[in-house]
Structures are given as structure tokens and as C-alpha cells.
């Protein structure tokens, strides 16, 4: 009813039940059909998860549709202003919010929220207003996700004892049997971790052999150890595990209660690969390889369970793309550093024929890591286009370690991305790329290939300073507290 308003049955319901007041504020009436009664009955499940994304503002009714936080507690409905659109709430000349009108319609508190959190509509925008489903990573509603949302209260009361948990896990057909057995041992605290072995043999040290900082209990091994934290943050779920409960059963049940089937699958296989990576460090004296773990989890997600066996497709480092600074044409490295509060640092380094020509960074705001990476690439795009206007038809490689972003830009597709909030930024990137595809190429590289801008982005996130268009100056870097040394066009932390 919300997304397909041109359907005949939707138009009939609109004419009969909410011709003026709008879908969200309509109520049951005497003689209402059973269909309409059921719609009103489940409508409240959507209120907290549906929001209009304001672009042009012409499709959104200002007084009766969800387009700002706490929209359903606004002032009393005024029938004379039902046709007012969001686009009518700005000054036509400046394009800024009409503050007096906002305060008149919504009151001081909500008006202040709109001014600080909602970008004013742009009538010239190429992107139409869009209804966003917050439970989906793409912003699109699906029946499956709606169904899971209805079941969420039941999921939040998952069993806390290991027997009932095992019954639940055993029903998951999307997991390999050996992974199910591993989960049962982990939740039963039967894995041979250092702290468990120390409780039986006191001569064995309880310290974690990967970091040597804390005792190796279940939560430390899988969530708090620095290597494990990197895996979760860089993985498909993008989790920050510093606030996970210490009890492994509580941490497990709390997380899976918020995930759909694909999310649970990724979560469980990440735990399994972390365990294998930890064992390689202790038993084979290998380095803890974050990329190998993420690659293996990706293979599990692609291949699934084939007759209870894992796919034979294993991570091969030789197949992973790498990059070295080239001696011909230009290369621009971009990267971002994001933290949960939204503060973001973005940075770039431009190489001209193998030597550093220009670098810069700035502090920004982003909703999630993917949004931050998109902002960093957009900043780099604009810099390159400005440079090309001055230096003629040079060819430039733009390098990023965000694979999803690189794929979206090269395929000219802003729909299938992990963050709907980044969609306008990705669409702008695509438009710029289309107009300059003959001289710009966007390429994916490993994370260690963009280590120089990553260091600068980390610094930018911690400060409010902006440096842009600056020639390389080691003294300036040292004054800012960034320890970098230059060795064959490669930066390293000193």
C-alpha cells in the first residue's frame, strides 16, 4: 500500500479510508472491510522501521508521512494543510528550511530535530524521494524481513540453557554438521582454551597466546582479542565487539536474535574460522591472517553446505589482488576510518609517475563504514577531475580497498550495496565515472596496499583539522604527530 499507490485496490482503500488524513493516521471505521482492519492491526509494526528519504520532497506529505524522527508525535492534525509537501517547507531562493513554518507546524522540539538531522529537499535533484525499510541493508522491504520482524519478540526470548540452544542450532539446516558440533562445544565451554586447560593443569598458562594481554576464555578468544575484533569489523556484519557480554551464551543468543538466516550463517561461520585461525597460530606457529579468515567465510556464504561438507574452494593469497605504485600515469589512493559514533576520517594520496604529488585528509560524518568509504572516494574523484582540467588528458587509477564500492561503481549499480544511506553518494560517484570513464579507472586493491591513506584517515578521525591539496612535507607530518617514513614511495609507521 505504501510503495504501489497506483494499484486499483490501494486507490479504493485510499478513497474510502484515508482520502485526506493519510495512511499512517487513518483509523478503523464502522463497516470497514476485514482486509482494512488487518492492515491497521499490523501497521504499528512498521512505524519504527519505515522512513522517507528526502531528495526532491515532492512525493512526501509533510504532516502525515514518516520523514523525520518521532514523526508520529507531531502536532494535532490540521485538515486544511493535508496537501502540504516537504518541498513546500523551504525558502525557494536559498533552498534552506523555512524555520518559521517548521516551528508553526511541528513545534520547537521537532523543528530543531528536522533542522539538524534532515537535509533540505533539492527540487533539482535527479534522485526521487524513496521509502526506506530500516531493517534491510539495501533499504528495500521484503516479505521475509517483515515476517522476521513480526517474530522478533519471540527471537528475543531465545533459550539460555545449553540443552535448548542445541535443539535450536540442530534445526539450522544451513550449517555444516561439524560447525554445529563446534558451536555446541563452544557454548558448553568445552573447547581447549588456555583458561579451561589451566583450570585442570595449573602449569599451563591461562594467557592468550595471540595477544598475551588477557586470559583466554571464550569471549576473549572470539570477540575481544585484537585479531578477532578486526575480523568482525571488516567482515560482512561489520560488528564492533568491544561491548559484547562476557558470558558466551548470552553473547551468542543476544546476537542471533537480531539476525536473519544469512546473518546467522555468516556469524556462525566467522566463529568457526576464527577458531581454526587461532589453532593455526598455536599449533602451526603461523601468523593470524585476517584476510584468509574473511576469504574462507565468504566461500562458506557462496558455496553453502553440500551434503554436509565444506566447499573445497580455499583462500589462495596468489588470487588476491595486490598493488604496487606504478611509474606511469597517475594513481590516487583513498581510504576512510570510521567509528561507531559516526565520526569519520577520509584521506587521499595522489601519485604522479610513481612519486607523491599531493595528499590530504579531513574529518567528516558518516553513518557506517561503507558510507565513509564512499565519501572518501567521492572526495578523491572530485580532486582528480579538478586536476585533469589543469593537466590535460592524463589517465588516473583510483584505488580503494572497499570491494563492494568498487563493484557498484564499475557496474553503474547503486542498488545492491551494504548501506542504503550511502546510495546518493554512490549514485553521484557513478555519474562522475560515466562522464570520465575514458581517463579514470576505479580498481580494488588489498587493504595493505592503501596503508598510507589509512594512517592519515585514522589521524583525521581523531582531530578536526583539514589539510587538502598539500605537497608532501615530512616536517608537517611530524608536527601533527603522524610518524611516517618514506621508503621507495611507501609509508610505514615508525
**If we measure between CA atoms, which residue out of 219, 220, 217, 241 comes closest to residue 230?**
241
Residue 308 resides in a domain: yes
Q: Are residues 269 and 290 in the same domain?
A: yes
Average pLDDT over residues 255-275: 90
Range of the domain at 203: 153-317
User: 460 with 362: CB under 8 angstroms?
Assistant: yes
pLDDT mean across residues, the chain: 79
Q: Are residues 260 and 398 in the same domain?
A: no
pLDDT greater at residue 70 or residue 349: 349
Sign of the C-alpha dihedral computed for residues 240, 244, 249 and 254 taken in this order: negative
Lookup: cell for 188? 558448553
Residue 357 to residue 346: CA distance in whole angstroms: 18
Q: What pLDDT score does 134 carry?
A: 74
Contact 121, 90 (CB under 8 A): yes
Q: Give the single-character DSSP code of 66.
A: -
Residues 335 and 197 in one domain: no
* Mean pLDDT (whole number) for 309-325: 39
| Residue at 1 is within a domain | no
Specify the length of the chain in residues: 494
Q: What is the pLDDT of residue 237?
A: 84
Q: What is the mean pLDDT of residues 97-107?
A: 86
Residue 324 maps to a domain? no
Reply yes or no on whether the pLDDT at 273 is more than 90: yes
User: In the prediction, which pLDDT does 182 show?
Assistant: 93
Q: How confident is the model at residue 95 (pLDDT cuts 50, 70, 90)?
A: confident
- Determine the pLDDT at residue 113: 84
Q: Are residues 19 and 77 in the same domain?
A: yes
The reply to whether 408 falls in a domain is yes
Residue % of the chain over a pLDDT of 90 = 11
Find all residues with CB under 8 Å of 421, minimum gap 6, and list them. 367, 368, 371
Q: What is the tally of structural domains in the chain? A: 3
Among 354, 343, 298, CA closest to 489: 354
Cβ 342 vs Cβ 372: under 8 Å: no
With H, G, I as helix, E, B as strand and everything else as coil, classify residue 247. coil
What is the tens place of the pLDDT at every residue in 191-200? 999 988 988 8
Crossing angle of helices 162-170/177-187, nearest 10°? 170
Q: What local confidence, expressed as pLDDT, does residue 193 receive?
A: 92
164 and 275 belong to one structural domain: yes
Report pLDDT for 269: 93
Which whole number is the average pLDDT over 15-32?
A: 81
Q: Is pLDDT of 207 > 80?
A: yes
| Same domain as 343, residue 222 | no
Residue 322 belongs to some domain of the structure? no
Tally DSSP H helices, then E strands, for the chain.
18, 10
The reported pLDDT for the residue numbered 482 is 53
- Residue 390 shares a structural domain with residue 425: yes
pTM of the model: 0.44
Contact 241, 221 (CB under 8 A): no
- Within 10 Å of residue 60's Cβ, how many Cβ atoms? 21
Grid cell 595522489 in the structure block, residue? 350
In a domain? residue 325: no
Please state, as a whole number, how many other Cβ atoms lie within 10 Å of the Cβ of residue 113.
16
pLDDT grade for 88, boundaries at 50, 70 and 90: confident
Cα distance between residue 86 and residue 67, in whole Å: 9
The CA–CA distances, whole Å, from 63 to 78, 85, 110, 120, 404 equal: 8, 8, 12, 16, 37
Cβ contacts of residue 15 below 8 Å, gap of 6+? none
Is 200 in the same domain as 262?
yes
Angstrom distance (rounded) from CA 293 to CA 272: 9
- Is the pLDDT confidence value at 312 over 70? no
Region of poorest pLDDT, from 55-64, 437-446, 474-483: 474-483
| Cβ neighbours, 10 Å, residue 84 | 16
Residue range 235-254: average pLDDT? 83
> For 17-24, what is the mean pLDDT?
79
Whole-angstrom distance, CA of residue 65 vs CA of residue 63: 6
Q: Indicate the pLDDT class of residue 494, thresholds 50, 70 and 90.
A: very low
280-304 pLDDT tens trace: 999 988 888 888 898 888 888 876 5
Any domain includes 160 = yes
Domain boundary among 317, 340, 362: 317
For residue 3, being part of any structural domain is answered with: no
Domain boundary pick from 317, 343, 358 = 317
- State the CATH number of the domain containing residue 434: 3.30.420.10
What is the residue whose three cell numbers read 591461562?
206
**pLDDT 10s digits, 348-361:** 888 887 777 788 88
Between 406 and 480, where is the model more confident?
406
| Residue 402, CA distances (Å) to 333, 336, 450 in order | 12, 10, 11
Please compute the mean of the pLDDT values over residues 211-238 and round it to a whole number.
89
What's the CA angle centered on 450, arms 315 and 431, to 5 degrees? 100
DSSP 413-464: --SSSS-GGGHHHHHHHHHHHHHHTTTEEEEE--GGGGHHHHHHHHHHHH--
Q: Are residues 106 and 189 both part of a single domain?
A: no
| Residue 394 and residue 411 in one domain | yes
- Domain finish residue from 91, 122, 148: 148
What pLDDT sits at residue 478?
52
Amino acid at each position: 500500500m505504501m510503495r504501489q499507490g497506483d494499484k486499483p485496490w490501494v486507490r479504493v482503500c485510499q478513497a474510502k479510508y484515508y482520502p485526506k488524513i493519510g495512511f499512517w493516521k487513518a483509523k478503523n471505521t464502522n463497516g470497514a472491510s476485514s482486509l482494512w482492519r488487518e492492515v491497521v492491526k499490523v501497521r504499528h509494526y512498521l512505524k519504527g522501521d519505515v522512513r522517507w528519504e528526502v531528495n526532491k520532497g515532492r512525493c512526501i506529505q509533510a504532516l502525515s508521512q514518516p520523514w523525520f524522527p518521532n514523526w508520529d508525535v507531531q502536532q494535532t492534525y490540521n485538515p486544511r494543510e493535508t496537501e502540504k509537501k516537504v518541498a513546500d517547507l523551504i525558502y525557494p531562493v536559498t533552498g534552506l528550511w523555512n524555520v518559521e513554518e517548521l516551528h508553526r507546524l511541528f513545534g520547537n522540539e521537532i523543528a530543531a530535530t528536522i533542522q539538524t538531522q534532515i537535509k533540505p529537499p533539492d527540487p533539482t535533484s535527479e534522485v526521487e524521494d524513496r521509502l526506506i525499510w530500516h531493517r534491510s541493508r539495501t533499504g528495500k522491504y521484503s516479505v521475509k524481513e517483515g515476517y522476521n520482524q513480526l517474530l522478533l519478540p519471540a527471537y528475543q526470548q531465545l533459550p539460555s540453557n545449553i540443552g535448548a540452544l542445541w535443539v535450536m542450532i540442530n534445526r539450522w539446516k544451513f550449517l555444516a554438521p561439524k560447525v554445529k558440533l563446534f558451536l555446541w562445544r563452544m557454548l558448553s565451554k568445552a573447547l581447549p582454551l588456555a583458561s579451561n586447560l589451566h583450570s585442570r593443569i595449573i602449569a599451563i598458562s591461562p594467557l592468550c597466546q595471540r595477544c598475551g594481554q588477557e586470559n583466554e576464555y571464550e569471549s576473549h578468544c572470539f570477540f575481544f582479542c585484537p585479531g578477532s575484533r578486526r575480523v568482525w569489523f571488516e567482515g560482512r556484519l561489520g560488528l564492533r565487539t568491544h561491548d559484547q557480554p562476557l558470558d558466551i551464551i548470552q553473547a551468542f543468543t543476544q546476537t542471533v536474535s537480531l539476525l536473519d538466516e544469512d546473518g546467522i550463517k555468516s556469524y556462525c561461520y566467522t566463529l568457526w574460522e576464527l577458531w581454526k585461525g587461532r589453532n593455526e597460530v598455536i599449533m602451526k606457529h603461523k601468523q593470524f591472517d585476517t584476510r584468509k579468515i574473511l576469504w574462507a567465510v565468504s566461500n562458506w556464504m557462496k558455496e553453502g553446505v553440500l551434503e554436509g561438507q565444506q566447499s573445497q574452494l580455499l583462500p589462495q593469497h596468489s588470487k588476491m589482488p595486490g598493488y604496487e605504485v606504478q611509474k606511469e600515469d597517475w594513481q590516487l589512493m583513498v581510504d576512510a576510518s570510521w567509528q561507531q559514533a559516526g565520526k569519520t576520517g577520509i584521506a587521499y594520496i595522489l601519485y604522479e609517475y610513481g612519486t607523491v604529488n599531493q595528499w590530504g585528509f579531513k574529518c567528516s560524518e558518516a553513518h557506517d563504514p561503507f558510507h565513509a568509504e564512499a565519501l572518501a572516494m567521492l572526495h578523491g574523484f572530485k580532486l582528480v577531475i579538478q586536476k585533469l582540467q589543469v593537466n590535460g588528458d592524463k589517465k588516473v587509477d583510483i584505488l580503494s580497498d572497499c570491494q563492494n564500492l568498487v563493484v557498484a561503481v564499475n557496474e553503474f549499480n547503486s542498488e545492491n550495496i551494504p548501506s542504503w544511506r550511502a546510495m546518493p553518494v554512490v549514485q553521484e560517484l557513478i555519474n562522475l565515472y560515466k562522464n570520465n570513464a575514458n581517463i579514470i579507472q576505479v580498481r580494488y586493491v588489498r587493504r595493505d596496499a592503501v596503508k598510507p591513506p589509512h594512517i592519515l584517515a585514522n589521524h583525521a578521525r581523531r582531530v578536526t583539522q583539514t589539510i587538502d591539496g598539500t605537497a608532501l612535507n615530512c616536517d608537517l607530518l611530524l608536527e601533527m604527530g603522524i610518524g611516517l617514513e618514506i621508503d621507495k614511495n611507501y609509508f610505514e609507521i615508525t
